[in-house]
Amino acid sequence: MNEKDRPTAMRTARNDYTAQKSPNHHDSTTGIPKPPSFNGSQLLEAQGMPRTATEPVTAVMMGLSISYLRFLRINGIGPASAMDRTGAVIYRRNDVLTYMHAHTRKGTL
């Protein structure tokens, strides 16, 4: 099945996924990793996040890919995180909301 034969919703979802999967992670002039910017609806959706959540759940709630959330954490520019006793990365809802609020585009609240 080629791209034209797919239902519009499938093409849109695939394009949205592709756009999320390969964001521009670096400032083109300095090469420094840059954090994402969020809008008001993403911030509102993240408020439904559990009190603590694993990396995959947090990525979905923030509207990011897991690899991009991991990229932010590794480069020290993501929300505060911790490891539980099994070694899984976890995020607290308050830390995620604080981070998202600090990186929300003005005029989108």
Neighbouring residues of 92: CB distance < 8 A, sequence distance ≥ 6: 51, 52, 80, 82
- Domain positions in the chain are 38-109
CATH number attached to the domain at 38-109: 1.10.1660
List strands edge to edge, sheet with 52-54.
52-54, 89-92, 82-83
Taking CB atoms within 8 Å and a gap of at least 24, the contacts of 43-46 are 43/97, 43/100, 43/101, 43/104, 43/109, 46/93, 46/96, 46/97, 46/100
Beta-sheet pairing, 82-83 with 89-92? antiparallel
pLDDT of residue 33: 74
For the chain of 109 residues, list the mean pLDDT of each consecutive stretch of 10. Answer: 50 43 54 83 92 96 95 94 96 97 79
Instruction: Compute the residue count for the chain.
Output: 109
pLDDT of residue 106: 77
pLDDT of residue 30: 64
